Amino acid sequence: MKNIKKALFLALIGAGFMAPVQAEEVHMILCGGEIRPADQIVIDAFEAKHSGVTVNAEAVPWGTCQDKSMTLAAAGDPVGLAYIGSRTLKQLGRSGLIVPVDISDEMQALYQPGVLATVSDGGQFWGYPHAFSTKALFINCGLVEEAGMACVAPKTWTGMYNMAKAINDNTAAAGVGLAAKDFDNTMHQFLNYLYSNGGTVSNADTGEITFNSPETVETVEFIGKLAGVAQEGPSGYERSQLTQLYNDGQIGMYINGPWGAGQHNDNIAEIVVPVPAGPSGSSGTLLITDSMAVFKGSANEDLAMELAQMMTTGEAQYDLDMSWGLTPILQYEKMMDEVYYSTDYWQTFVEPIGRGGPEPMFEDFKALQAGINGAIQGIILGDGSAADLVAEAAETLAEGL
């Protein structure tokens, strides 16, 4: 990597490192089913630094990895550390299964706005943020033009709906892709709309559930309206399946992260635009992170903490963000002269960070998902009014906070 400001970089990655320890193993679970090359480089460097220490890096699919980490910890056989969704940290911390982590003031100042809110509870940090995303709307211009419209960014929900309806009514494709499967990214897709309408889920300071609001009702109503111009059976789809529909020309638009461009077919002429604003808000985005959590009581807790630090700072973190196509988790422009996210494409994902809202931290994160997904599925299936579904969801959320 070129032009790293070495004094800052070395200060960040060097803090708290230990002397070598012999004949030890650090067990690590990585959610996602693969070990990223940027992470493997750090693992190799860690093992080279500590002669006799090996890292047992176990890649586990998202559907089972978080439960596996929790089950092992609850059974008294914790892994050293795990790469998991930050949504789990509050439950893990309050259950005494993970230890708080120390993020220096200098390091805190480098994170993008809102990132640390995704790992904070009770005045402590419970994980090192390791992956960060914001979202935008991808639009297939070929389908828009086939529908007789100009392919320009819709600024509001009304403009987005009108474009999606034109595609739906005048082409063989559905206007928009909606995720409504009982999966975490269904909730995530919804929160992009909610934050773009001035809505919130909870007040982190007071513990009050704020979900039952006019802004949320408007958002649920809009999801119901979009369902009328979406692919058939949204409740059978999660976000990654929408990518395939988009590539196949079966939907005209959908929300995805910055990695989306690399997943799309080269023959699709597309624009990438901010999530349109709702009637009660301005364009926003969900700020979502995954983190490295250090589990309490493993045989090598200190080594696990050091490895977590090495994987989440400086050049190692930059290489992960750049190679994976993630929104930059750190303000790397403060650390180096050139950054990968200076293009107009990347600014679509970077510019809204300050207006974004974090994934809420709930002690029972599954209740958070169940409550929000229940309202989404309910409005799509016609199981009640938006107001009633939101009120019901708020009760479920109150039980999980």
Q: What is the pLDDT of residues 211-241, one digit of tens each?
A: 999 999 999 999 999 999 999 999 999 999 9
What whole-number distance in Å separates Cα of residue 306 and Cα of residue 96? Answer: 20
Question: Which residue ranges form the domains of the chain, and what is each CATH number?
Answer: 6-133+287-357 (3.40.190.10), 136-284+362-400 (3.40.190.10)
Structure tokens at 336: 């180096």
- 19 pLDDT above the threshold of 70: no
Residue 366 CB coordination number (10 Å): 15
Task: Give the tokens for residue 7.
Answer: 């004094």
Write down the residue that tokens 């009770």 correspond to: 122
Q: Which of 225, 234, 247 is nearest to 186 (CA)?
A: 234
Q: Which of 33, 68, 28, 70 is nearest to 364 (CA)?
A: 70
Average pLDDT, the chain: 93
- Cβ burial 43-65 (10 Å sphere, 16+ → b, else e): beebeeebeebebebebbeeeeb
Q: Which spans in 312-385 are helix H?
A: 314-324, 344-350, 365-381
Amino acid occupying residue 163: M
What pLDDT is stored for residue 2 in this prediction?
Answer: 41
The number of angstroms, rounded, from the C-alpha of 95 to the middle of its chain's C-alpha atoms is 23
The pLDDT tens digits of the residues spanning 248-282 come to 999 999 999 999 999 999 999 999 999 999 999 99
What is the enclosing helix (H) or strand (E) of 364?
A: none
User: Percent of the chain at pLDDT above 70?
Assistant: 94
Residue 88 has pLDDT above 70, yes or no: yes
- Angle between helix 214-227 and helix 157-170 axes, rounded to 10 deg: 10
- Which pLDDT score is estimated for 23? 60
Q: Which two tokens stand for residue 177?
A: 């892709």
Q: How far is CA 88 from CA 63, 93, 131, 360, 367, in A?
A: 13, 9, 14, 10, 12
Residue 298 CB contacts under 8 Å (≥ 6 apart), including other chains: 26, 27, 78, 79, 80, 304
Q: What does the angle CA 174 – CA 180 – CA 182 come to, to the nearest 5 degrees?
A: 150
Tokens of 173: 């494709």
Per-residue pLDDT reduced to its tens digit, 122-156: 999 999 999 999 999 999 999 999 999 999 999 99
